[in-house]
Structure 1
Amino acid sequence: MKKIMSMMLVLSLILTVLAGCTAKVDNGSETAGANAKEVENVSIKIAAPSGAPTLSMIKMFKENPSFGEHIEMNYESVKSPDLMASRIISGEIDIAVVPTNLAATLINKGANYKLAASSVWGILYVVGNEQIDGWEALRGKEIYTMGRGLTPDIVFRYLLSSNGINPDTDVTLTYMGEATELASAFIAGKSSISVIPEPVLSNVMMKKQDTKILLDLQEEWSKLNNGDASYPQASLIIKNDLIEKRPEFVETFLKEYENSINWLNANAEKAGEYSEELETGLSKGVVMKGLQRSNIKYQGAATAREDIDKYLKVLFEYSPEVIGGKIPDEGFYLEK
C-alpha cells in the first residue's frame, strides 16, 4: 500500500512538472508572437517643402538619426506645393512640414492628420533701394509682391490695413508669379520696393548689396499682437494612424525635431554645408546669411495653438477658402 501511495505521489509530481513546462512553452510562444509583431519593419516617409521648412529638418535629413533598428526613415525635400498636397491627401506621406493654412485646408477636407507643432514663424520682408520711415512712407508707392489672394498677399494686406494704409487705393500692388521672379525684377531695377521672402532675400542681398530691409513683417505682426510671437507660417503634421499606433515613436520624433531646430540655430555654417551636400538648392552662404531672418523655432501644438488660431482667423476673414472654408475644430491639434 505504501508503494502504491509513493508511486501515485511521484506521478502527481511528474504531471505537475510537465504541466508547468507546457505552460512555459505556451507562454513563450505567445511572447514570441507578440515580439514578432513589435519588431515588424516599418517605413516612415517625411517630407518638407524646399526652403525654410526643409532647413528646419536639415540635421535629420543629413544625419538620419535612429528611431529603432526596425524603423526606416525616408526624408524628402519637395519643390512643388501641389505635389506635396496630393501626396498628403493620398496618405503617402506620414509626417510633413507644410504651410499652416494648407494643413487647415487638408484636414478640413478630411485628410487624416493632426497638427503637432509649428516651426517657421514668418519669412516676409519689405525691401527697397532707399531707406523709408515706417508704413506711412509706403503711401502712393508701387510695391511688387506675389501670390495674389494667397497667404503672403493676405499677411501684407492685413498689415497695411492695420497701419492705416488701404491696400486697394493708397498703394499700387504689382503681382509677380513667384519669389524668384520677384527677386529678378528687383535686382534688375524694375521695382524699387518689393515684398521678398527668405531664403530668396538672402540671395538678392548677395547680388544687390545696396538692398535695404524696410519692414520686417514678422515684427510688425508681433506689434499688433501685444508683442507676442509672429504668425506660424509653417507647421508639422502627422498622420493619425501613426499617432494612434506608435505614440512612443511620435513623442521621440517630436523631441528629435525640436533638437534639430535648436541645433540649426546654433550651427548655421554646418547647416549650410549640409544643405549644399544634400543639394537642397540653398547654398551655404544663403543659409548662413538668411537663417536668422527665417525665424525657425519649435513650438508644440499646445503652446502654439493661440497664435495659430489668430493667424487662421486673419486668413479666414480675408479669404475663407485659403484655409478650407472654416476654422478647424478641436480635432485639428495633437493633444499631449
Structure 2
Amino acid sequence: MRKITLACAAALFCVLVALGGCSTHSQEPNNEPEEQQVSSQQPMDVRAAALKGPTAMGLVKFMDEAEAGTVSDNDYSFQIAASPDELTPQIAQGSLDIACVPANLASVLYNNTDGAVRVLAVNTLGVLYICDSNGSIQSVADLAGKTIYASGKGSTPEYALNYILEGNGLTPGRDVTIEWKSEHAECVAAMTKDSQAIALLPQPFVTTAQMKDDSIRTALDLTEEWNALQSDADASSLITGVVVARADFVDEHPEAVEAFMKHYRESVAFVNEDIEAAAELIDTYDIVPAAVAQKAIPACNIVCMEGDEMKNALSGYLEVLFEQNPKSVGGTLPGDDFYYAS
C-alpha cells in the first residue's frame, strides 16, 4: 500500500511540475512590437469622403497609399463629392464613417442628429481672400465706400466677411456694399470688366483666376484679418473644414479612428512639405489641376489640428457664427461631446 501511495505521489509531483512549466510559459510577456500586434488585428471597412477642394487635398497621400495597398491596417475606401449635399444624408444614415465637411455643417449635423456626430480634427483654416486688380486695397479700412463682389451668401463667406468688417468699424450694407453672386466665376467676370472691382474669393479659385488674368492680386487674407481681431483670452480661428465621424463609429471602433488619424496626420504633413508631389496626386484624384494645386497649396491653410487646440479654435469660430445667425450652426452651439478627445 505504501509503495502504491509513493508511486501516486511521484506521479502527481510530475504532473504538477509539467503544469507549472506550461503556466510559466503562458505568462511570458508578448514582446512582439506594438505596430505588429496592431497589424495582426482583423482589418475592418472604414468608409471616408471629402469635398472637392482644400478639404480633400490633405487626404491625397493617404488615399494613394490605401489604393496601392501600402496601408493595410484597415480597408479604407474614399469618395470625393462636389457638394456637401451629397455627403450629409450618407453621414446621417450611417453609410459613411468619416467625412471632411465645412465646419458649420458639422455643427448643423450634430444638432440635427441629436449629437450623433463628433469632430476629430480641423483640417482647413481660412481660404478666403479679398482680391483686386489695381492695388487699391491695402487694409480693411480701404474697403470703406467700396463694393465687394462675393459668392456664398448665408454661409461662411458672408459671416466671415461681416465679422471682419464689423471688427474694423465698418457696417456691411452701409459703409461697404456687398453684391452677392451665385458663383465665384461671376465675381471674377466682374473684375475682368472693371479694373476697380473688388471680389471675395476662396482658394484654389483665386489661383485659377490669377492664371487666367495676371492682374488679379490677393489684397487681404481674411485668415490674417480674423486673427488680428482675436485676444489672447478668447482666441478663435477662421475655419473652413473639419474631419467628422459618426459617434457610434468612434465609440465602437476607437482603434480604427486612431489608425485613420495617424495616416491623416502623415498625409497632411506630406502635402505641406512636398508640394510638387502633392499637386500631382491632387490632379490624379481630379480635385484641381496640378498647376493650380502647386500654386494654391501654400494659401489653402491645410492642417490637422486636434485635441484642445482644435476645440478652442472651432468652438470660438462657431460662437462667432452663432452670434450672427444661430441657424448657421444648427440653432444652438454643440456640447463638449462634439469635440473628440483621444
TM-score normalised by the chain length of structure 2:
0.84
d(CA) in 2 for partners of 1:142, 1:135:
13
Superposed, 1:1-336 pairs within 5 Å as 1=1, 40-64=42-66, 69=72, 71-109=74-112, 110=114, 112-132=116-136, 133-189=138-194, 192-226=197-231, 230-280=237-287, 282-336=288-342
| CA 39–213 in structure 1, closer or farther in 2 if over 3 Å, else same | closer
How many residues of Structure 1 are paired with residues of Structure 2 in the alignment?
Answer: 324
d(CA) in 2 for partners of 1:253, 1:303:
19
| CA 184–87 in structure 1, closer or farther in 2 if over 3 Å, else same | farther
Report if the CA contact (8 A) 2:55-2:100 is conserved.
yes
Read off the aligned partner of 1:47 and give its amino acid letter: A
| CA 83–4 in structure 1, closer or farther in 2 if over 3 Å, else same | same
Read off the aligned partner of 2:65 and give its amino acid letter: E
- Which deviates further from its counterpart, 265-274 or 177-186? 177-186
Instruction: Give the superposition deviation at 1:233.
Output: 1.9
Q: Tell me, which stretches of 5 or more residues in structure 2 are unaligned?
A: 24-36
Report if the CA contact (8 A) 1:272-1:285 is conserved.
yes
Report if the CA contact (8 A) 2:237-2:314 is conserved.
no
Instruction: Give the superposition deviation at 1:298.
Output: 1.7
Aligned to 2:26: none
Could you report, residue by residue, the CA deviation over 1:61-97 in whole angstroms, capped at 9, with x for unpaired residues?
2222869746210011111111111111111111111
Instruction: Give the superposition deviation at 1:253.
Output: 2.0
d(CA) in 2 for partners of 1:207, 1:329:
45
| CA 283–300 in structure 1, closer or farther in 2 if over 3 Å, else same | same
| CA 332–189 in structure 1, closer or farther in 2 if over 3 Å, else same | same
Could you report, residue by residue, the CA deviation over 1:261-319 in whole angstroms, capped at 9, with x for unpaired residues?
11111111111111122222x01111111111101122103212112121111100111
d(CA) in 2 for partners of 1:145, 1:205:
16
Q: Tell me, which stretches of 5 or more residues in structure 1 are unaligned?
A: 24-34
Question: What is the alpha-carbon root mean square deviation over aligned residues?
Answer: 3.0
Report if the CA contact (8 A) 1:185-1:191 is conserved.
no
d(CA) in 2 for partners of 1:331, 1:67:
34
